[in-house]
Structure 1
Amino acid sequence: MQQTILKHKNHITVISGLFIIIGFIAHFIFTNTVIFNSAFIIASILGVIPIAIQAYQAIKVKVVSIDILVTIAVIGAFFIQNYEESAIVTFLFLFGSYLEQRTLKQTRSAIKELTEMAPETAFKQLNEGQFEEVDIDKVEEGDILLVKTGSKIPVDGRVTTGKGYVNEANITGESLPLKKEKGDKVFAGTIMDNGTIQIVADRIGEDSTFGRIIELVEEAQDSKSEAERFIDQFSRWYTPVVLIIGLLVWLLTKDTALAVTVLVLGCPGALVIGVPVSNVAGIGNGAKNGILFKGSEVISHFANVDTILFDKTGTLTEGKPEVSEFVYYGNNQEEDLSLLYSVERESDHPLAVAITNKLAQYKLRPVDNTQVIKGGGVIAHVDGHIVTVGNKTLMEQENIPLSDDILKELDKLERAGSSIVLTAVDRKLIILMGIRDQVRAGVKQDLQKLKSLGVKNLIVLSGDNQGTVNLVKKELGLTEAHGDMLPEDKQEFLKERQSTGEIVAFIGDGVNDSPSLATAEVGIAMGNGTDVAIESSDIVLMNSNFNRLPHALGLAKETYANMRQNILIAVGVVIILLFSLIFSEWMSMSIGMLVHEASILVVILNAMRLRGYQLK
């Protein structure tokens, strides 16, 4: 019965409002006191029932809610035969509740829009080779799917044949369509603007990028920030205090109307709704712009960040390095390059990918007993040879001699900004490679935007040599640059900055970044990075769009400011109403409730501004 009444609460609000209108018509047009009182009595009883049920349910879980204040106030007004006040108060309270529900649904529209974008069917290749439209649930990993112009891409996958342009705005926030051809990745929920392609399914359903976005945004919008948790605790003791004050007013004055009015004026409705609606609107804006905030707490921390630490490869740079210098010191170049190619094929590190792309024409040999040296490189057994591939530190650890000529060449390449990869076969150095990665387009401008938003320190931390990171620092105008750093060195550096009281954010994309992402107040992962990095982060920039970072920071600051504005509005209204009650003659229950509901509408409209926020 209770659930049925609450389910039809909006209908009750409408009926209550109609009876109030009937009452006023009877009073002002027909001067009929009986109909006037009867209409307001019915409106009061109808209106207080759902409010009283909510109050009862709150008491059952030992929470003294605002509904209790309103229920007592309405019952008090009813028994002193102030039917007009009791009817209007219940109607305004129910109408305010309706506005809150409607607005929260609108601010959660990012979820609804994303869900509606989720593909429901796919054209799957059957055993006979033809394609048939099937339900998305029947698609499995490894299936070949056909995507035509205007269709939604149903899964995460790779293009096998065909080419065309894909609109990825709902994943990355990037409005321009991207060209896709054989080998390129595509994402579920994006739209094929032009062309026809076939793709092989890599990730389906909830495991797809699109599925994870929906899940993360839902979790984030349901999470509570520190401010929200404080307000929850605050309202738990605030409401009983208002009840006690109302009782004391009645005991001291014996004025029931005054005591009841105190209860109504003390309702902190705007305070309860103001912070959540700001956070939900901010998270929704982020989702539409390719930014995933994993919770309301993240917004507060990021809004106050002092220092941002950057991994270099794949973050400040494209993450697509190429071999730029090559020096060979051995006697059988083809065999030695075949050994190197075979070892590097075992790794997905960006430098390894650059080397395998360079050496793809060489013979692949069986690799045994691969040993990865964290922050150094790899040692493997290939066709009876011990192959050591890595940096200068690894060579020194393995007692592999480096001649003066090699050291001079190495120093020259480092000063030119190259990442160095050394290769030794059977403990003799035979190959020196210089690898360069291009700085992302527009990164310098994006970093300037971060500074203009109040970030004091922009620091790059990298496992690359100091010469390379110094060049990156100079090119991008960074505050500091630190090279030759292992993952634990990055994490230790981060902790040192935190120990001085700085609020630190770390942005990276690799497995080796995960400790720092987890340690920082705000960990930011590039969306094309590893799953481990994405899982251990607090913010994800979808499709690795670095230019979304300034928008994310600006949005966090705007959301945090909006939240504080709403708190100020809510508290200010309560103070003004109580002062008006004490120092004026015009304040009444219905006027107080009307002002309360107006304040709720104001904080909602204030939060709604965040939905259209764009960084200037």
Structure 2
Amino acid sequence: MQKFILSNKTIITVLGALLIAFGFTGEIVFHQEQLAMWSFILASVLAGAPIAIQAYQALKVKVVSIDVLVTLAVIGAFFIRNFEESAVVTFLFLFGAYLEQRTLQKTRSAIKELTEMAPESALKQTDSGEFEEVAVDDVDVGDTLLVKTGSKVPVDGTVLTGEGYINEASITGEAVPVGKKMGSQVFAGTILENGTLQIVADRVGEDTTFGRIIELVEEAQDSKSEAERFIDRFSKYYTPAVLVLSTLVWVFSQNMELAITILVLGCPGALVIGVPVSHVAGIGNGARHGVLLKGSEVIHDFSRVDTIVFDKTGTLTAGNPTVADTQYYAFDTQKTLGYLSSVERESDHPLAKAIVQHLGPVDAYVVQKTDVVAGGGIVAEVDGHRVAVGNVALMETLGVTIPQNGRKDIARFEARGNSLVLTAVDGQLSVLMGIRDQIRPGVKEHLQALKKLGVKHLVVLSGDNQGTVDLVSKQLGLTEAHGHMLPQDKAAFIKTLQSEGRIVAFVGDGVNDSPSLALAQIGIAMGSGTDVAIETSDVVLMNSDFSRLPHALGLAKATASNMRQNIAIAVGVVLVLLASVFFSEWMNMSIGMLVHEASILVVILNGMRLLRYRLKRRK
């Protein structure tokens, strides 16, 4: 019976409204007092049943909920034969709960839309070479899949054949189609707008970028901030306190109606719902715009950030550097370049890729005993020679002799804004290369937007030489720039900033950034970075879109402000209602419940404004 009643609360609410309307019509129009009284009694009992059941369920787990207060108020109203107000109170309570549920569903629409975008089937190539439709759960890594125009990409993969344009809004938040061809990366949940592609599955199921987005957003929406935890604790003691206050008022005043009115007015509904609705709406907005905020606590801390520290390569710069200057010191240049190319093929660092691409087809050698020096480079044995490839600090550590003309070349290359890669064979400098990376388009404007949002300090840390870092800093108008920074140096620098009382956010994309991402109050990962960086971070900018950063900070500030507004509205309404009981003539149960439900809807609607939040573009 309890399950039946609770599952039909909407029907009960409608019946209660009809009975109340019938009662007032009988009383006012036809002057049928008895008919009106029985209509109000029936409405009270009918609408009060689900409230009483919820109160009973709460008391079973030793919780004095809002339902308990309303149930006691209705029983008290029956005791003093105020059937009209008990009917109105129960109806308003159920109707308010219905409106709350409907509006809260809208705040969770972002995650609902995401889950609905998840692909359910795929066209998988069989042993015979034909493609057959299978459930997406039956796709394994390495399978070849066919994606047709208008279909969802079922997995993260690489294009084998075909060309087309894909809408990646579910991943990046941008609806502008992106061209794909052989070798291009595609993501699950995106839509092929035209063309036909054959892809090989690289990641499937929950391991896809889309699957991880859904998981992160769900975890974020289920998390609670310190403010929410405080309100939960507050409500746990506040609701019984209202019950005690109502009892004391009745004991000392013998005014049952006044005591019952206090029970109704003291309901903390708006206070309990105000912060979570802001939290959910803010995270939902971020998910729609390519920003993953991992929880309410993250939003609170991010909104207070005054210092943002950036890694350079792949964050402020595009991460696609090219060789700009070269100087040779070895007699057998061709063989040395073969050693260099062979060693750099062992690395996935952007500078290494730039060198391999620049050198093109050269003689290849077997690389043995590779030793990767964090923040320095690589030392390996090649063709019986000890080959070191890295920065100046690595050469000095290994005792490599750098001639006077080499030092002049280093200074000259640095002045041009190059990152330096030195190659030494058997302790002798052989090749010096200067590599330059392009600053991301629009980064300077986005950094200015961060300043306008209240960020006082913009700092760049890089393992690159100081000249290159200074040049980038000057171009972008940063506050500080520090080069020759190893991963542990970056972490130590962040600790220093925190010891000065700063609230620090760190933005990076590599494995070596993970310690700094974890140490900063807010770690922000570029979405095309490594899995470790994304898992370690608090905020993820999908598709490495730097323009999302000002939106993310603005959204965090707007969400934190919205939470404070909702708390102020909720507390203010309760104080006004309770004060009006003692200092006014007009307050009663029905008006109190109406204002109470209205305040809940106000905080919900206020929170829902965050779903439409967009950072204002400044001229």
Which of the five TM-score ranges fits, normalised by the shorter chain? Answer: over 0.9
One-letter amino acid matched to 1:537: S
Give the Cα–Cα distance (whole angstroms) in 1 for the partners of residues 81 and 366 of structure 2.
93
- Give a deviation string over 1:362-403, Cα, whole Å, max 9, x none: 233322221111111111122322211111111111111111
Give the Cα–Cα distance (whole angstroms) in 2 for the partners of residues 285 and 395 of structure 1.
49
One-letter amino acid matched to 1:92: L
Pairwise CA distance, 1:173: 1.3
- Give a deviation string over 1:403-437, Cα, whole Å, max 9, x none: 11111101111111111111112222211111111
Give the Cα–Cα distance (whole angstroms) in 2 for the partners of residues 592 and 504 of structure 1.
45
Contact conserved, 1:344 with 1:353, CA < 8 A, in 2? yes
- Matched with 2:372 is 372
Give the Cα–Cα distance (whole angstroms) in 2 for the partners of residues 15 and 497 of structure 1.
63
Pairwise CA distance, 1:2: 3.2
- Matched with 1:363 is 363
For structure 2, list consecutive stretches of 5 or more residues without a partner in the other structure. none
Give secondary structure in 2 for the equivalent of 1:540. Answer: strand
Matches within 5 A, 1:68-87: 68-87=68-87
Q: TM-score, with normalisation over the residues of structure 2?
A: 0.97
Pairwise CA distance, 1:287: 0.4
Pairwise CA distance, 1:133: 2.4
Give the Cα–Cα distance (whole angstroms) in 2 for the partners of residues 363 and 124 of structure 1.
40
Matches within 5 A, 1:7-46: 7-46=7-46
- Give a deviation string over 1:331-365, Cα, whole Å, max 9, x none: 22232222222211111111111112223412333
Give the Cα–Cα distance (whole angstroms) in 2 for the partners of residues 404 and 366 of structure 1.
32
Give secondary structure in 1 for the equivalent of 2:224. Answer: coil
Correspondence 1:276 to 2:276: yes
- Matched with 1:144 is 144
- Matched with 1:460 is 460
- Matched with 1:220 is 220
Give secondary structure in 2 for the equivalent of 1:604. Answer: helix
- Matched with 2:549 is 549
Correspondence 1:421 to 2:393: no
One-letter amino acid matched to 1:73: A
Give secondary structure in 2 for the equivalent of 1:224. Answer: coil
Correspondence 1:162 to 2:162: yes
- Matched with 2:259 is 259
- Matched with 2:521 is 521
Give the superposed CA RMSD: 1.3
Give the Cα–Cα distance (whole angstroms) in 1 for the partners of residues 156 and 226 of structure 2.
36
Give the Cα–Cα distance (whole angstroms) in 1 for the partners of residues 606 and 49 of structure 2.
31
- Give a deviation string over 1:73-123, Cα, whole Å, max 9, x none: 111112211111111111111111111211111110011111111111222
- Matched with 2:469 is 469
Give the Cα–Cα distance (whole angstroms) in 1 for the partners of residues 93 and 208 of structure 2.
43
- Identity percentage over the alignment? 67
Give the Cα–Cα distance (whole angstroms) in 2 for the partners of residues 426 and 15 of structure 1.
91
- Matched with 2:127 is 127
Correspondence 1:613 to 2:613: yes
Give the Cα–Cα distance (whole angstroms) in 2 for the partners of residues 107 and 94 of structure 1.
20
Give secondary structure in 2 for the equivalent of 1:16. Answer: helix
- Give a deviation string over 1:131-178, Cα, whole Å, max 9, x none: 222221221111122222222111111112222221111211123211
One-letter amino acid matched to 2:512: N
One-letter amino acid matched to 2:174: E
- Matched with 2:179 is 179
Give the Cα–Cα distance (whole angstroms) in 2 for the partners of residues 55 and 518 of structure 1.
44
- Give a deviation string over 1:560-582, Cα, whole Å, max 9, x none: 11111111111111111112111
- Matched with 2:248 is 248
For structure 1, list consecutive stretches of 5 or more residues without a partner in the other structure. none
Give secondary structure in 2 for the equivalent of 1:123. Answer: strand
Give the Cα–Cα distance (whole angstroms) in 2 for the partners of residues 59 and 385 of structure 1.
78
One-letter amino acid matched to 2:336: D
One-letter amino acid matched to 1:320: N
Pairwise CA distance, 1:31: 2.3
Give the Cα–Cα distance (whole angstroms) in 1 for the partners of residues 346 and 241 of structure 2.
67
Pairwise CA distance, 1:530: 0.3
One-letter amino acid matched to 1:167: N
Give the Cα–Cα distance (whole angstroms) in 2 for the partners of residues 205 and 164 of structure 1.
23
Worse-superposed segment, 93-102 or 594-603: 93-102
- Matched with 2:350 is 350
Pairwise CA distance, 1:127: 2.1
Give the Cα–Cα distance (whole angstroms) in 2 for the partners of residues 163 and 371 of structure 1.
41
Give secondary structure in 2 for the equivalent of 1:566. Answer: helix
Pairwise CA distance, 1:16: 2.1
- Matched with 1:211 is 211
Give secondary structure in 1 for the equivalent of 2:197. Answer: strand
Pairwise CA distance, 1:199: 1.3
Worse-superposed segment, 446-455 or 350-359: 350-359
Give the Cα–Cα distance (whole angstroms) in 2 for the partners of residues 24 and 226 of structure 1.
47
- Matched with 2:306 is 306
- Matched with 1:572 is 572
- Matched with 2:88 is 88
Give secondary structure in 2 for the equivalent of 1:63. Answer: coil
- Give a deviation string over 1:509-560, Cα, whole Å, max 9, x none: 0001111111111110000000000000000000000001111111111111
Pairwise CA distance, 1:35: 2.4
Give the Cα–Cα distance (whole angstroms) in 2 for the partners of residues 62 and 388 of structure 1.
69
Give the Cα–Cα distance (whole angstroms) in 2 for the partners of residues 233 and 4 of structure 1.
32
Contact conserved, 1:187 with 1:210, CA < 8 A, in 2? yes
Pairwise CA distance, 1:29: 2.7
Pairwise CA distance, 1:51: 1.8
Give the Cα–Cα distance (whole angstroms) in 1 for the partners of residues 62 and 384 of structure 2.
73
Give secondary structure in 1 for the equivalent of 2:196. Answer: strand
Give secondary structure in 2 for the equivalent of 1:512. Answer: helix
Give the Cα–Cα distance (whole angstroms) in 2 for the partners of residues 128 and 360 of structure 1.
39
Give the Cα–Cα distance (whole angstroms) in 2 for the partners of residues 146 and 128 of structure 1.
14
Contact conserved, 1:107 with 1:277, CA < 8 A, in 2? yes
Give the Cα–Cα distance (whole angstroms) in 2 for the partners of residues 53 and 348 of structure 1.
62
Give the Cα–Cα distance (whole angstroms) in 2 for the partners of residues 154 and 326 of structure 1.
45
Give the Cα–Cα distance (whole angstroms) in 2 for the partners of residues 95 and 437 of structure 1.
60
Give the Cα–Cα distance (whole angstroms) in 1 for the partners of residues 484 and 266 of structure 2.
60
Pairwise CA distance, 1:30: 2.6
- Give a deviation string over 1:3-42, Cα, whole Å, max 9, x none: 3432222232222222222222222233222322222212
- Matched with 1:334 is 334
One-letter amino acid matched to 2:304: N
Contact conserved, 1:388 with 1:424, CA < 8 A, in 2? yes
Give the Cα–Cα distance (whole angstroms) in 2 for the partners of residues 512 and 245 of structure 1.
58
Q: TM-score, with normalisation over the residues of structure 1?
A: 0.98
Give the Cα–Cα distance (whole angstroms) in 2 for the partners of residues 408 and 593 of structure 1.
81
Contact conserved, 1:20 with 1:39, CA < 8 A, in 2? yes
Contact conserved, 1:100 with 1:273, CA < 8 A, in 2? no
- Matched with 2:112 is 112
Give the Cα–Cα distance (whole angstroms) in 2 for the partners of residues 197 and 254 of structure 1.
80
Give secondary structure in 2 for the equivalent of 1:281. Answer: helix
Give the Cα–Cα distance (whole angstroms) in 2 for the partners of residues 577 and 417 of structure 1.
66
Give the Cα–Cα distance (whole angstroms) in 2 for the partners of residues 412 and 153 of structure 1.
49
- Give a deviation string over 1:458-486, Cα, whole Å, max 9, x none: 11111111101100011001111111111
Give the Cα–Cα distance (whole angstroms) in 1 for the partners of residues 62 and 342 of structure 2.
66
- Matched with 1:3 is 3
Give the Cα–Cα distance (whole angstroms) in 2 for the partners of residues 356 and 46 of structure 1.
78
Give the Cα–Cα distance (whole angstroms) in 1 for the partners of residues 545 and 321 of structure 2.
18
One-letter amino acid matched to 1:198: Q
Contact conserved, 1:326 with 1:433, CA < 8 A, in 2? yes
Give secondary structure in 2 for the equivalent of 1:591. Answer: helix
One-letter amino acid matched to 2:466: Q
Worse-superposed segment, 365-374 or 287-296: 365-374
- Matched with 2:382 is 382
Give the Cα–Cα distance (whole angstroms) in 2 for the partners of residues 58 and 106 of structure 1.
26
